[in-house]
Amino acid sequence: MFDVVVIGGGSTGTAVARDCAMRGLKTLLIERDDIASATVGTCAGMISSGLKYMDEPEIVDLCSQEVVYFNKIARHIIMKNPILTPIFGMSDLSSGGNFAEEYSKRAAKRQVPPVLFLTPEDSLKIEPMLNPDLIASLYFEEYFINPFRLCILQAQDASVHGAEIRTYCEVVDIRLSNNEVKSVVFYDRVSGKKEEVSTRIIVNATGPWAERIAGLAGTNVELRLNKGAHVILDRRVVNVGVIAKAVDGRMIYLFPHESTVLLGTTAIDTWEDPDTLVTSHDEIEYLLKSMEWVVPSIRKARIIRTMEGVRPLIAEWKIPEGEVTRGYKIIDHSDEGVSGLLSFTGGKLVMCRRMAEDVTDVICKKLDIQATCETHIRPLPGNDSDIDVVSLAKEYKVSQHVVERMRTRRGTKTRDVLELVRDHPEWRTTICVCEPVIEAEIRYSIRNEYPRTINDLRRRLRVGTGPCQGTNCTYKIAAILSEELNLGIAETLIEMTRFLSERWKGKRPPFRGDLLAQEELVQAIYSCVGNLDREAIHEPNPWEEGL
Amino acid sequence: MDLEPDVLVIGGGMAGLVAGTVAAQDGLDVLLIRRGQGSTAMSSGAIDICGYMRGATVHFESPIEAIQTITRVHPLHPYSIIAYDEGGIVPEKSIKYIKDATNWLKKQLARSIAAIEGDLSRNLMQLTQIGTTKPTCFVQGSMVHPGLYDNDSRPLFVGIRGHSDFNAAITANTFLQYRMDIDMAPRIVLNEMIDLSPHGRHHNIASIEIARFLDTEEGLEKITSILKNEVKRTGATHVVLPAVLGIERAIDNAKHLSKETQATVFETLAFPPSVPGLRLQMALDRIFQASGGTLILGHKAVSGVFKGETLVEVKASGPKRKISIRPKAAVLATGKFISEGLLGSQKGVREPLFGLVTVTGEFYDASEEYPRRHTRPIPFTNRGHDIFQFGVPVDENLRPVDYNGRAKAENLFAAGAIIAGYDFSSEKSGLGVALTTGYVAGEKVIRNIRSDI
Ligand SMILES: Cc1cc2nc3c(=O)[nH]c(=O)nc-3n(C[C@H](O)[C@H](O)[C@H](O)COP(=O)(O)OP(=O)(O)OC[C@H]3O[C@@H](n4cnc5c(N)ncnc54)[C@H](O)[C@@H]3O)c2cc1C
Ligand SMILES: Cc1cc2nc3c(=O)[nH]c(=O)nc-3n(C[C@H](O)[C@H](O)[C@H](O)COP(=O)(O)OP(=O)(O)OC[C@H]3O[C@@H](n4cnc5c(N)ncnc54)[C@H](O)[C@@H]3O)c2cc1C
C-alpha cells in the first residue's frame, strides 16, 4: 500500500515524487515512457523571471523565488545567459519600460543586474549580428536549466529518499471503492505484464494527458492544449539571447545553447494527440521569417532539427495563448465526489518545485502528517560542492572539455564516472563526438540512471543531439547498451533504427540544405552498408503512421 | 591559368575516375578536377552492382538477374538507359556494359591496394561491421572468407581495445543470430578483445591508425603473434576483423595472417571513416594517373560557358587561384547531395554547377519540389526515400537533357550518383552504377572527340 502514486515523470511528477519521499511518504512514480520524455523535454529550459507575464506580478514573484532556490539546489545544471531585446519602434519602448521596472525590482535577489537600456551602438557591440536599424535595446539576464537533468536528478533524489520509480509503465486504470481511490492499474511495457498497486492518494501530473488520466477515475479536467515548436540551428548565430516580435506581434526568442541556437516558439491551439504532433512547414517559416528581421543572417545557419511540445495550459478561452495565465491549479476531485485524486493543470518548468510543494502540503493534510517541505533547501544529487575540472581531467587523463561537459550534468558525481576508467582505460574513448561523451559515462548512466533505450541516453547525456544527429554514434551506443542491458540481437538492431527514426522526426520537417546530405549519409551507412532497411524494421511510432 | 585538355572530368569519385581513366587509356589528354573526397572514399569499398529491387525484401541471387528485372521494370534506371537501342531497351546491352566495366576494373585493380574478387553470376552475402550481412558483388582481397558458411566453421570475431567502431561480442552474436534464423552454419561463434594500441594508447583508436600500424613490420608482427595464439587457443577456422588490415598492405597482410594462423583472416564491411573505401579511392587515383591523366585536387568547378549546343569553358577555383578550362568534351561526375553534385533547399533541388535540369524519381521537374514531400515518415523501409532518386536526367549517350529530352550540350556527359532514377542505398547499387556509367561515359567521350558525334 502506497501513500501516494504519482502519475507522470515530467518536471512536475518528478518534483512531486521527490517532495513526497522527502517528507516520508511511501511514494511510487509511474511514467509510461522515460523520465522527461514528453513536454518538459521540448521546452527551452528558461527558468525565467517572467518577461511574458508582467501582467501577473504574483507569478513573477513566484518564478523569481524559484530561481533563487534552483541556484541553491541545482547550480551545476544551471547557466545564466544575457539577453537583448532590440527595439525598432517607439511604441515598443514604453512597454519595455514597464518590463524593466518589474524585472529590476527582483533583480538583486536573483543575483542579476537590473535591466539596462542600451544605445544601438552598445547593442551592436554586444551582438554584432543584430539588424543595425534598431533604436535601442533592453539588456537583462536569465537563467536556464537542463530540463532532462533536472527531472532525472529529482527522480534519483526521490529514490534516494525511498520512492519507487517505474518507467515504461503506463497507467491504464484507476480503481475506486466508495468514491475513494483504491488502486492504480498499469501496464509494464518491458515485461508486458499488468500490475495493480493500492494507494491512498493519486497525483495526476501527466501534463497534456491530465484529461485522460482524470477520465480513468470518471472525473474531469479541462486544459487548453497549445502546441509550441522550436527550430535548432547548428551554430551560434548570436552569442547572447535575443527576444523579438514575430510576424503576428507575439514575442519569440533565439537562445544560444552550447554550440547551437534554439529558435522558438510557436503557439497553436491543438486538439491532436500530442504523441503524433510534428512541427509543420508553416511553423518553421514563421519562426525564420520573424527572426530574420532582427537577425538577418539567420538563414545562413544550418537547421539541425525541429522539436515540438504541447503546453498544458489552464483552460481560459477566447483570449490569445499569450494572455492565458501561466499559473497552475491543483484540482481536488473530491469536489466532484471522488476523493484521493489530485490533478494539475497549467504551470511551467520553472514552477515545478513549488507545484510539488503545494500538492504535497495538501496530501500531508489529507493524510494527517506533519512534515515540512525541504526541497528548496536540500541539494539535488551532485550539487553538494564544487569540483575542480582541471585536476580531475589530469588525474584521470581525460580531456578537460569532456570533464567539463560531464560536470554540467552531474556535478560532484563526475568522479564516480571517471573512476570507471581505472579498470577500463579504453572507456575513455569518445563515443559521441559532437557532444562529446566518453564510453565510461554511457556505461555509468546505463548502470545508475535507468535508461532503456538510446533515446533515454540522449536525454541523460545529450548523445546524438549534435550536428550529426547520431549518424556516427548510434551503432556504437547500441552495442554498449546491448552489452549492459543484455538486449537480444533483434532488439539491438531495432534500437538503432528506432533511435535514428526518432532523430528523423525532427529532421524531416525542415528537410533542406545539408540535411539532405546528412540523410543520404544515414541511409548509406545504415541501409546501404548495414542493410537495416531490410533487417531491422521497427513498429511504427505514433507520428509515423502511414508511409 | 588556362588549360585546354581533350577531356575535362569534374568530380573524382568512382564515376569520374573511371571515365577519365578509360579516356586517358585511349590516348586522350584528360584533366580531372576534384574539390575533395566524396562518397567513394567513404564507402565500404565493396562494389555493389545491384542487391535488391526497391520495395523488395528478398535480395537478388545475382546481379545478372537484377539487371534483367530492372531493365524490365524501371525503364529510366541508369542500367536501363544505357541499354537503349533503336528506341527499345535491350537488357543484354546493359549486361554487356556491366560485364565490360567490371572486367576492366578488375584488371585495373589487380595487384593494386584494392584488388577485387567476385563475379556477376552471384551476389555475395558479406558480413558487415555490425554483424548483419548484405548483398554485394565484388569485395577487396582482404575481405574474402571462403568456408565461412561451411558446417564446421568456427569464426572468431576479434575487436581491438579502444577501437569503438567494432564491438566483437555484439557483432559476433548478431551474425550468429542471423545464421540461426535461417538455420544455416556456422552454429558457433567466438569473440575476443585484443590489445593492439598502436601508440601505447588504449582509447580513441581510429581505424586508420590501426591500418597504418599494420602497414609496418612491427605492427604486422604484433598482430600475427596475437592472432596465432588466439586461433590456437580457440580452434577458430576464421578470424573476423574490423576493416583495419592496412592501407598499402591489407591484402598481403590478410594472406600472411591466414597462412601464419592457419585460419582465414578477413575484414568486415566498414562504416565511414572506412579504410577500404580509402584504399579504393587511392587505387583509382593511382590508376588514373598511371594512365596519363592529370589530377587537380582542391579545386571546385564553379561555372560553365555554353555556346549553342557546346560546352566551351569551365571555370574553377582553388585555394589560391582561378582557372579556366576549355575542353573538347567534359564528364560531370559530381555525385549527389553528400558531394554537393546536387543541392536542395526547402523549395526544390538543383544542379549547382551548370544549372542542369533536375528530376524526381518519377522524372518530373524537381526544381520546385519540396524535398520533404519526397521522404517517408519512417526512415528505414525497403522502399527508401524517393528524394534519393532525384538527379540529372540523361539520354542514352549519358548526356544531361533539358525538359524536351534534348541534350544540353553535345559534348557534356554525366556519370555516377548525380544521375537520376536510382537509390543506391535501397538497391545496393552505388559503386556499380558509378562504375558502369563512368565506363560508358568514358567510351562516349572518346567517340565524341575521335569521330565528333
Ligand atoms: C515549446 C515549449 C516551450 C516551453 N518553454 C518553457 C520554458 O522555457 N520555461 C518553462 O518554465 N516552461 C516552459 N514550457 C512549459 C513547460 O515545459 C511545461 O509546462 C512543463 O514542462 C510540463 O511538465 P509536466 O511534467 O507537467 O508535463 P510532461 O513533461 O508532459 O510530463 C507528463 C508525463 O506524463 C506521462 N504520462 C502521460 N500519460 C501517462 C500514463 N497513462 N501513465 C503514465 N505516465 C503518463 C507522459 O509520458 C509525460 O512524461 C514550455 C513548453 C513548451 C511546449
Ligand atoms: C558511407 C557510404 C557507404 C557506401 N557504401 C557503399 C558500398 O559498400 N558499396 C557500394 O557499391 N556503394 C556504396 N556507397 C555508394 C557509393 O559510394 C556511391 O554511390 C558512389 O561512390 C558514387 O560515386 P560518384 O563518383 O558518382 O560520386 P562521389 O564519389 O561522391 O564523387 C563526387 C566527386 O565530385 C566532387 N565534386 C562535387 N562537386 C564538385 C565541383 N563543383 N567541382 C569539383 N569537384 C566536385 C566531389 O568532391 C567528389 O570527389 C556508399 C556511400 C556512402 C556515402
Per residue in A230-286, pLDDT (tens digit) is: 999 998 899 999 999 999 999 999 999 888 999 999 999 999 999 999 999 999 999
Determine the Cα–Cα distance for residues B424 and B437; give it in Å rounded to an integer.
Answer: 14
Quote the minimal CA–CA distance from A522 to chain B in Å: 9
- Note the pLDDT of residue A94: 77
Kindly give the distance from the C-alpha atom of residue B444 to the centroid of ligand 2, in angstroms, as a whole number. 21
Pick the closest to residue B250 from B140, B334, B337, B96 (CA basis): B140
- Closest residue in A to B57 (Cα) is A534
Residue B207 in contact with partner chain A when CB distance is under 8 A:
no
Reported as a single tens digit per residue, the pLDDT across A271-307 is: 999 999 999 999 999 999 999 999 999 999 999 999 9
CA neighbours within 13 Å on the CB side: how many for A408? Answer: 20
Please name the residues in contact with B446: beta carbons below 8 A apart, sequence gap of 6 or more.
Answer: B22, B23, B26, B28
In the predicted structure, residue A11 carries a pLDDT above the cut 50 = yes
Query: Quick check: CB of B35 below 6 Å from ligand 2?
Result: yes
- Note the pLDDT of residue B453: 52
Place of cell 543584430: A130
Long-range CB pairs of A391-396 (<8 Å, 24+ gap) are A392/A418, A396/A421, A396/A422, A396/A428
Element (H, E) at A166: strand A164-166
Instruction: Show the cell assigned to A497.
Output: 533504427
CA neighbours within 13 Å on the CB side: how many for B266? Answer: 20
Reported as a single tens digit per residue, the pLDDT across B20-59 is: 999 999 999 999 999 999 999 999 999 999 999 999 999 9
Say whether the ipTM exceeds 0.90: yes
Reported as a single tens digit per residue, the pLDDT across A14-61 is: 999 999 999 999 999 999 999 999 999 999 999 986 667 778 889 989
pTM: 0.97
**Best mutation site among A30, A39, A69 for ligand 1, i.e. most ligand atoms within 8 A of its Cβ?**
A39
Please name the residues in contact with A276: beta carbons below 8 A apart, sequence gap of 6 or more.
Answer: A542, A543, A545
In the predicted structure, residue B145 carries a pLDDT above the cut 80 = yes
Supply the angle between the helices A414-423 and A439-448 in degrees, to the nearest 10: 110
Pick the closest to residue A367 from A24, A7, A15 (CA basis): A24
> Is the Cβ pair B375, A425 closer than 8 Å?
no
Please name the residues in contact with A541: beta carbons below 8 A apart, sequence gap of 6 or more.
Answer: A498, A501, A502, A505
> Is the Cβ pair B375, A508 closer than 8 Å?
yes
| Ligand showing the shortest atom-to-Cα distance for residue A148 | 1
**Best mutation site among B339, B392, B422 for ligand 2, i.e. most ligand atoms within 8 A of its Cβ?**
B339
- Note the pLDDT of residue B406: 95
Instruction: Show the cell assigned to A141.
Output: 539576464
Query: Quick check: CB of B430 below 6 Å from ligand 2?
Result: yes
Contact A307, A42 (CB under 8 A): yes
pLDDT band at A91 (very low <50, low <70, confident <90, very high): confident
Taking only residues 284 to 303 of chain B, the set having a beta carbon closer than 8 angstroms to any beta carbon of chain A reads none
**Residue B170, Ramachandran bin (φ over 0: left; ψ between -120 and 50: alpha; else beta):** alpha
Query: What percentage of residues in chain A have a pLDDT greater than 70?
Result: 99
Write out residues with Cβ below 6 Å of ligand 1.
A 7-13, 30-33, 37-40, 42-46, 170-171, 205-209, 213, 228, 264-265, 309-311, 347-350
**Alpha-carbon distances, residue B277 vs A112, B9, B113, B136, B269 (angstroms):** 54, 21, 11, 14, 10
What is the three-class DSSP state of A147? helix
Which residue type is seen at B235?
Answer: G
- Closest atom of ligand 1 relative to the A208 alpha carbon: 30
**Best mutation site among A28, A83, A275, A311 for ligand 1, i.e. most ligand atoms within 8 A of its Cβ?**
A311
Q: What secondary structure does DSSP assign to A433-479, as a single string?
A: TTTTEEHHHHHHHHHHS---SHHHHHHHH-TT-STTTTTTTHHHHHH
Q: Positive or negative, the Cα torsion across B232, B237, B241, B246? A: positive
> Is the Cβ pair A510, B346 closer than 8 Å?
yes
> Is the Cβ pair A535, B164 closer than 8 Å?
no
Determine the Cα–Cα distance for residues A534 and A132; give it in Å rounded to an integer.
Answer: 54
- Note the pLDDT of residue A547: 46
CB atoms within 10 A of CB A375: 23
Q: Whose CA is nearest to atom 18 of ligand 2?
A: B430
- Do strands A169-177 and A180-188 pair parallel, antiparallel, or not at all (unpaired)? antiparallel
Place of cell 564510453: A439
- Note the pLDDT of residue A50: 67
What are the backbone dihedrals phi and psi of residue B294, each rounded to the nearest 5 degrees, phi first?
-110, 130
Residue B37 in contact with partner chain A when CB distance is under 8 A:
no
Contact B5, B23 (CB under 8 A): no
Contact B331, B20 (CB under 8 A): yes
Residues in chain A with CB shorter than 8 Å from the CB of B204 are 428-430
List the beta strands (DSSP E) in B52-121: 84-85, 88-89, 116-117
Interior/surface letters A254-275, b for 16+ CB within 10 angstroms, e for the rest: bbbbeebbbbbbbbbebeeebe
**Best mutation site among A519, A529, A532, A533 for ligand 2, i.e. most ligand atoms within 8 A of its Cβ?**
A529
pLDDT band at A112 (very low <50, low <70, confident <90, very high): confident
Element (H, E) at B330: strand B329-332
In the predicted structure, residue B103 carries a pLDDT above the cut 50 = yes
Measure the CA dihedral A503/A509/A512/A517, to 10°.
Answer: 20
Quote the minimal CA–CA distance from A152 to chain B in Å: 27
Residue B140 in contact with partner chain A when CB distance is under 8 A:
no
Contact B408, B32 (CB under 8 A): no
Place of cell 494527440: A273
| Interchain CB contacts (distance < 8 Å): A and B | 181
Residues in chain B with CB shorter than 8 Å from the CB of A526 are 380
DSSP category for residue B269: B
In the predicted structure, residue B1 carries a pLDDT above the cut 90 = no
Average pLDDT of chain A is 95
- The mean pLDDT of A155-179, rounded to a whole number, is 97
Determine the Cα–Cα distance for residues B364 and B348; give it in Å rounded to an integer.
Answer: 12
- Closest residue in A to B127 (Cα) is A530
In the predicted structure, residue A511 carries a pLDDT above the cut 90 = yes
Q: How far is CA A521 from the centre of its chain?
A: 29
Instruction: Show the cell assigned to A484.
Output: 549492459
Contact A116, A59 (CB under 8 A): no
Supply the angle between the helices A454-461 and A147-160 in degrees, to the nearest 10: 100
pLDDT band at B433 (very low <50, low <70, confident <90, very high): very high
Determine the Cα–Cα distance for residues A309 and A321; give it in Å rounded to an integer.
Answer: 15
Query: Quick check: CB of B44 below 6 Å from ligand 2?
Result: yes
Instruction: Show the cell assigned to B401.
Output: 537533357
CB atoms within 10 A of CB B57: 11
In the predicted structure, residue A109 carries a pLDDT above the cut 90 = no
What is the three-class DSSP state of A327? coil
**Residue B363, Ramachandran bin (φ over 0: left; ψ between -120 and 50: alpha; else beta):** left
Please name the residues in contact with B448: beta carbons below 8 A apart, sequence gap of 6 or more.
Answer: B328, B329, B410, B411, B413
Pick the closest to residue A376 from A158, A66, A163, A109 (CA basis): A66
- Note the pLDDT of residue A163: 98
What is the three-class DSSP state of A524? helix
- Closest residue in A to B431 (Cα) is A528
| Ligand showing the shortest atom-to-Cα distance for residue B273 | 2
Determine the Cα–Cα distance for residues B314 and B3; give it in Å rounded to an integer.
Answer: 10
Residues in chain B with CB shorter than 8 Å from the CB of A438 are 203
| Ligand showing the shortest atom-to-Cα distance for residue B280 | 2
Query: What percentage of residues in chain A have a pLDDT greater than 90?
Result: 88
| CA-based end-to-end distance of chain B | 29
Query: Quick check: CB of B38 below 6 Å from ligand 2?
Result: yes
> Is the Cβ pair A534, B59 closer than 8 Å?
yes
Residues in chain B with CB shorter than 8 Å from the CB of A426 are 161-162, 202-203
Determine the Cα–Cα distance for residues A188 and A193; give it in Å rounded to an integer.
Answer: 5
> Is the Cβ pair A528, B344 closer than 8 Å?
no
Taking only residues 219 to 278 of chain B, the set having a beta carbon closer than 8 angstroms to any beta carbon of chain A reads 269-272
Kindly give the distance from the C-alpha atom of residue A146 to the centroid of ligand 1, in angstroms, as a whole number. 14
Omega prior to B186 cis, within 30 of 0: yes
CB atoms within 10 A of CB B374: 20
Average pLDDT of chain B is 96
